Amino acid sequence: MSIEIDLVKAYFESNGFLVRQAGTHPQETGKKKVVPLPTIAIFNPNRSDNGIDLSFRMFTGDLVGVKSALVSLLGWSNSCFTNDCLTSDARLMKFFKGEASAEQLNLNFNPSPVLAESGMGDFLRILVIPHFPRHEQKAKLLTESLEEAGVDGVLTLRSIFENLLRQATPARAFINQDIFHILKLLKAYDLVKEPQLDMFEE
């Protein structure tokens, strides 16, 4: 399990969600094995249903409208994402075309019998991605493509990381102590600075 999925778990736990492992097993598609993305199930015990006016591009403030969801991670460690994708929308769109196919996402977001018995009810399908296109037209194309594949919303790793860094204060205790201990150390040694959160700035 990658550090990224630990960050995603810590993010939802620290924002009031119950979190557990979820997902389905690899399936054969002809001669090609389709491996599901790392997936967790999240549940907010303080909500009775999922909001109907949530934006597709999600931020931490949108979590108040989420009751339950399957959250899958398309991250650096389980894909071909590279630094070049951060600076080029063309490369980023090529990345999504190869790594976020409808076949892949359909496998990930099909509910398993375990989920059906968990009391989640109707749930959202949220995808955590490394980066979102900057160009408006590219962002629109990606949104349409992921919506057609059954995705209800996306969160970026940057948004997740930024929120965790803001929460990582010496006085606060968290369920995932290892993750927050690392983040507290980064802040203690001035390797990240708020509010911009510029890393390793001289």
Contacts within 8 Å (CB) and 24+ apart, 44-51: 44/16, 44/17, 44/18, 44/68, 45/18, 46/16, 49/121, 49/122, 50/122, 50/123, 50/124
Q: In sequence order, what are the residues at sequence separation of 6 or more whose Cβ sits closer than 8 angstroms to the Cβ of residue 41? A: 19, 20, 21, 22, 68, 69, 70, 71, 115, 118, 120, 123
Strand partners, 34: 27
Residue 174 is predicted with a pLDDT of: 59
CB 153 within 8 A of CB 54: yes
Hunting for tokens 């006016």 — which residue is that?
53
Reading the chain (202 residues) residue by residue, the pLDDT tens digits are: 588 999 999 999 999 999 998 855 555 555 566 678 899 999 999 999 999 889 999 999 999 999 999 999 999 998 999 999 999 999 999 999 999 888 778 777 765 545 554 566 788 999 999 999 999 999 999 999 999 999 999 999 999 999 998 888 766 665 557 888 888 888 877 887 665 555 444 4
Measured between its terminal Cα atoms, the distance across the chain in Å is: 33
Cβ(129)–Cβ(156) below 8 Å: yes
Query: Would you say 32 and 56 are in contact if contact means Cβ atoms under 8 Å apart?
Result: no
Specify the pLDDT at position 201: 47
Predicted pLDDT at 189: 79
CA distance linking residue 170 with residue 153, whole number of Å = 32
